[in-house]
Structure 1
């Protein structure tokens, strides 16, 4: 069975409410849905996250020449072609964010073609369900604390909040959240690179009294020695996120002992296979892995759920963000029960695509263009 063609569909999907983080305010998700069609008529789906779908569609369709005509099961060979032919390797992070959608679609098509869930291709499950965090939403201390109490009441053992916004007092937010969830639940914070090394040490030390589980990527991603310094200087675990896209970057973080946890997923790593490979490398260094999420749909959530179920060194409180979107692209979307999702047994990634919903999101993009993540001035 060979890859006959690859199609790319730009999408714009609104969020349930405005999303606030150190990089701005987001009102919708920009995505590209990739579909891989085989010569036997099987179709698999994956998606790429992006700022501008036009760029990703253009790159993705050029990259698809490395896939079309190949045996569907030869995913690693197709990825090798991407990294050894042409100039894709010159822009590794953008290449990985783009090619991941095609790679995920290949695995989905392969699972559908042979009638098995895709976790089979990555060593099989070591767990039947995966635990996810409660992602706090709101733009005020009161909103965040109220949402924290609500999510804790739904059974989430791990709560997660974005910090690092200049207009908001981080300590006041963290104190209110801790008060709302009680002393026993885990609380993780993510400044998204907002602090310098010195600021990170000072602010984390001030927040330690609230019993943080870990601080995710407090400093700029390119400064791995700085991140290592922060880790040595505070009493809270440090998670590396934006510092790790490529395997070389992962090895740099591990060499400097810069993180207790690596936050990674298919979008960052360039596909499900590289994600699983990087998790194995982290395990060899005694480092845990937490699944990273972007503004994505259930397509990415379920694909990564399949692989996360095979990772022995996976943490609890993995990231989940598809629930922030106001529309669903799959029929019978997954549900979290007590903060956990069961791994589907259906072929492929375990979903049925809703092509009518895809059409609505595509028409919105055609009509209105992409959402902006920049603050309006």
Structure 2
């Protein structure tokens, strides 16, 4: 008999970060995850996660709204339904509930985990099959202190854990930010790729000044320098410099990417399962991006191990990730709520091979960090 969904539970989980993580719009010292547990009438459970950055500082969904909307609007549409078709279940959600991509991504992830456990295959198999067993993963230098960032990067390079680095900038004057980045690039040399994420902080004049200086400093990539809705500026900048631009907040799903490319953008695309609405939808976005000749990058909303594992499974099915990934979220947290952490080594992370997401909840840790 095909399993039917019987129960859906959501939990808010707060875990401190190993250091303050500074972005242009906020600074965070604790990450809040919405953990989803879907149970069926055959006794199995699927795990999902919905996570954002800094409450409402980053986007329109907060951890509290994600939980509320799953509990009151989305879960009732799934309870009692067959697990036979995840696409049919997601269509049911999309028909009745607009937006809420992070909440839907958490549910889609849990459904994939549950189905994978029933079939005895990893989520990557459900998504078409893994091409890679190990994917590259950069580290974000976001302390804001130049000497600390240099020391941190050199230690990670020496250990073999990371050789690519992204710097969060945009909260200071552009000349100060550029000096910070240039000093780090000079200290790390050609053995490290250095990129920056401006998180929408610059206007066109500032971006023109900043990107010229960053290009001269040897920076490899500039992510979302201007506001998400200022598409025309993003397109003009993509034609003005040799240094590539990565579109992130400007694009969420396949239709956004198609519209951006049709208007002349020629940079790269940051894929995120959360903003697309789940791993399946993120791979739709990847197909459109690849067809348009856009370079791909596996992005994160700083998910913990559950959300990160889901994204890793998705990215493992892509033939090429031109700019690698940033699936470092669990490493930013002081603790974890799964029994066996993801395996980070050799400048990347292994793709889990066990059924479903390939991870198991540590009930004691979950209880410790669950918001009371």
Which TM-score tier does this pair reach, normalised by the shorter chain?
over 0.9
Shift in CA distance, 259/299, structure 1 to aligned 2, threshold 3 Å:
farther
The match for 1:55 among 62, 65, 68 is 65
Equivalent position of 1:373 in the other structure = none
Of 337, 355, 362, 1:347 maps to 355
Tell me how far 1:206 sits from its aligned partner: 1.3
- Give structure 1 stretches of 5+ with no counterpart: 367-377
Q: CA deviation at 1:139?
A: 2.6
TM-score by length of 1: 0.91
Counterpart Cα distance in 1 of 2:103 and 2:291: 28
Deviation, 1:97, is: 1.2
Q: 1: distance between equivalents of 2:173 and 2:291? A: 41
Distance in 2, Cα, partners of 1:257 & 1:133:
28
Match for residue 185 of structure 1 among 188, 192, 202: 192
Instruction: Quote how far apart the aligned CAs of 1:187 are.
Output: 1.1
Residue from 250, 259, 263 that aligns with 2:270: 263
SS in 1 for 2:130: coil
Question: Separation in 1 of the partners of 2:329 and 2:300?
Answer: 6
Report how many residues are paired: 358
Instruction: Provide, for residues 77-103 of structure 1, a one-character-per-residue CA deviation record: whole Å limited to 9, x for no partner.
Output: 111112222xx32xx2xx101111111
Question: Tell me, which stretches of 5 or more residues in structure 2 are unaligned?
Answer: 56-61
Name 1:375's counterpart in structure 2. none
Q: Return the offset for 1:157.
A: 3.1
2:202 corresponds to 1:160: no
* CA drift at 1:259: 4.4
Q: Cα deviations across residues 91-147 of structure 1 (Å, max 9, x unaligned)? A: x2xx10111111100000111111111111111011111000122142311111211
Choose which of 116, 120, 143 in structure 2 pairs with 1:111.
116
Report whether the alignment pairs 1:221 with 2:228. yes
Could you state the TM-score of these two structures normalised by the residue count of structure 2? 0.92
Residue 25 of structure 2, aligned match among 4, 23, 39: 23
Determine if contact 2:200/2:226 at 8 Å carries over to the other structure. yes
Q: Residue in 1 aligned with 2:77?
A: 66
CA–CA separation in structure 2 for the residues paired with 1:244 and 1:264: 9
Q: Is the 8 A contact 2:235 2:264 kept in 1?
A: yes
Q: Distance in 2 between matches of 1:58 and 1:171?
A: 41
CA distance in 2, matches of 1:151, 1:231: 31
Q: Does residue 297 of structure 1 match 2:304?
A: yes
Contact 1:152–1:181 (Cα < 8 Å) also in 2: no
Against the structure 1 CA distance between its residues 180 and 153, is the aligned structure 2 distance closer, same or farther, given a 3 Å change threshold?
farther
8 Å Cα contact 2:23/2:142 also seen in 1: no
C-alpha distance in structure 1 between counterparts of 2:324 and 2:110, whole Å: 26
Is 1:276 paired with 2:278? no
Q: 2:94 aligns with which of 74, 78, 83?
A: 83
